[in-house]
Structure 1
Amino acid sequence: MQTEKVINHIVDWLKDYAAKAGVKGFVIGISGGIDSAVTSTLCAKTGLELLCLEMPIHQAPSHVTRAQEHIAQLKKRFPNVKDKVVDLTPVFEEFKTEVSLEGKQSTVDMALANTRARLRMTTLYYHAGLYGLLVAGTGNKVEDFGVGFYTKYGDGGVDLSPIADLLKSEVYEIGRFLDVPASIIKAAPSDGLFGDARSDEDQIGASYPELEWAMEMKANGKTVADFEGRNREVFEIFNKYNSSNKHKMVAIPVCEIPKILR
């Protein structure tokens, strides 16, 4: 990958999109992970306004520390960067008092995890509307178009996606080029939706390099019958997520009314 040229291409794309939309800049949620670090740095390089929001909800201390380190670095490097902390923990806890928490614990936990993401999306769009900004998404190609590893109308609810055509490995390559803090480069990817430090690999059952391999194999027409051992297991994991999360990756189904019924 021609890293510097890719970076310049994305920055120019961001500036052009913002100009055509008639907005001042971007707002982005900072998680302490590589995707939000790279996306926010690319947005900062446009010279347009960038508002970085921390939105903790019972957040793991390591995530908070990395997010703060990254924001401090950004503000030092780019005068167009501002930041704000919006503690959503009280909002989340109040929400829990108004809904049923009955049922299978794993199902309740997942519903609440997705609620965290949707509360953050609401907060991002509040500030976007308040300051005339666009919500910049942080999803990469593997998450957005491979396994659908994001929350529908949560972190998937954005105005534009600067890095969604980049594989996770390419995001890391750009992150190193952009001098993203080493603590973020080294940290295991995590969605931070459960209040602990569990990684994406813990949840999915496969690493991003493995998922990238499976995504490529599927694109090349391979089937599960072509593999054995760990490769077969990874390919099955990829297919399971790709199939079950397809509803996130395609347009919302619309029931079209036949003309004869009009």
Structure 2
Amino acid sequence: MAKKSSIQVEKVNTYIVEWLKNYANNAKVNGFVIGISGGVDSAVTSTLCAQTGLKVLCVEMPIHQAPNQVSRGREHIEQLKKRFPNVTNIETDLTATFEAFKSAVPQSDDLAKVNLSLANTRARVRMTSLYYLAGIYGLLVAGTGNKVEDFGVGFYTKYGDGGVDLSPIADLMKSDVYALGQFLAIPESILTAAPTDGLFGDNRTDEDQLGASYDELEWAMEAVESGNTGAEYIGREKSVFEIYKHLNTSNKHKMDPIPVCLIPKTLK
């Protein structure tokens, strides 16, 4: 099921950088702010933004973060600062803020729902921090979601990491992001690390949560876009196809526009 990227990495890189530059100039802002997680998506996004020559603020926002995620993020930031003089960084430790939130909200005996809600809270606290910094420095919040996450399975937090001003890599499959990452020479430690959202404070990977790898989900997404119904598949392919369809359906509320109750003209 694994699929190699077919994008023309150098041309795609140039295209996205020009798109970012034009958008920022038209918006009359100073540049971009990006949350750095230690993952490939934020590493590629920040490197694309850095190539614009505009101000780029990389932000670390640990909340009980695993040490290896922190070290990968810092390795990338230090590398990026050496390559691009327009890149600066800041660390905003949100652990105390997160703990204060936990102590302020009502408790529940449904631990599964509590843990999921708190995981999403981490993402939303980080989004709030990015917009605070964006407001101070006149920056746009750059999203780090790829096509599989943003439009396939909805693997992001609504108004968390999904709350952004623009999405440079949201039309790229995960395999495309890795191809760009290799072209951009982001740290090998990031390219080889198992993808994780880091929202639960443990070692679970994205594949653990989704039930399928990005290669598999990318295959399923392209199968659906080609009009396949899944009836022709058996074994693991059938399972992956069903996983994709389930996630795509259950997360539609994230991917579709917010429903608006339109009042009939006869009632106005």
Same fold by TM-score, threshold 0.5 exceeded?
yes
What is residue 212 of structure 1 aligned with on the other side?
218
Structure 1 residues 1-262: aligned runs within 5 Å = 1-262=7-268
1:196 deviates by 1.7
The amino acid of 2:261's aligned partner reads: C
Distance in 2 between residues matched to 1:165 and 1:233, nearest whole Å = 25
Instruction: Structure 1: give runs of 5+ residues left out of the alignment.
Output: none
Amino acid corresponding to residue 192 of structure 2 in structure 1:
K
Aligned partner of 2:4 in structure 1 is: none
Partners of 1:103 and 1:171 lie apart in 2 by 40
TM-score, with length taken from structure 1: 0.99
Distance 1:37 1:126 in 2: 21
Distance 2:229 2:104 in 1: 46
Match of 2:3 in 1: none
Q: CA RMSD in A?
A: 0.6
User: C-alpha distance in 2, partners of 1:155/1:108?
Assistant: 19
**1:28-51 residue CA offsets vs partner (Å, 9 max, x unmatched):** 000000000000000001000000
Give the SS at the match of 1:139: coil
In the TM superposition, residue 77 of structure 1 has moved relative to its aligned partner by 0.4
Structure 1 position 221, deviation (Å):
1.2
Q: Which runs of 5 or more residues in structure 2 are unaligned?
A: 1-6
Shift of 1:101: 2.5
Shift of 1:202: 0.5
| CA displacement 1:17-76 (0-9 Å, x = unmatched) | 000000000000000000000000000010000000000000011100000000000001
Cα offsets for 1:136-190 (capped at 9, x unmatched): 0000000000000000000000000000000000000000000000000000000
How far 1:225 sits from its partner (Å)?
1.7
Runs in 1 of length 4+ with deviation above 6 angstroms?
Answer: none
* Aligned-pair CA distance for 1:197: 2.2
**Aligned partners of 2:174, 2:134: CA distance in 1, in Å?**
27
Task: Tell me, in whole angstroms, the C-alpha distance in 2 between the residues paired with 1:209 and 1:16.
Answer: 32
- Tell me how far 1:213 sits from its aligned partner: 0.4
**Matched-pair identity in %:** 68
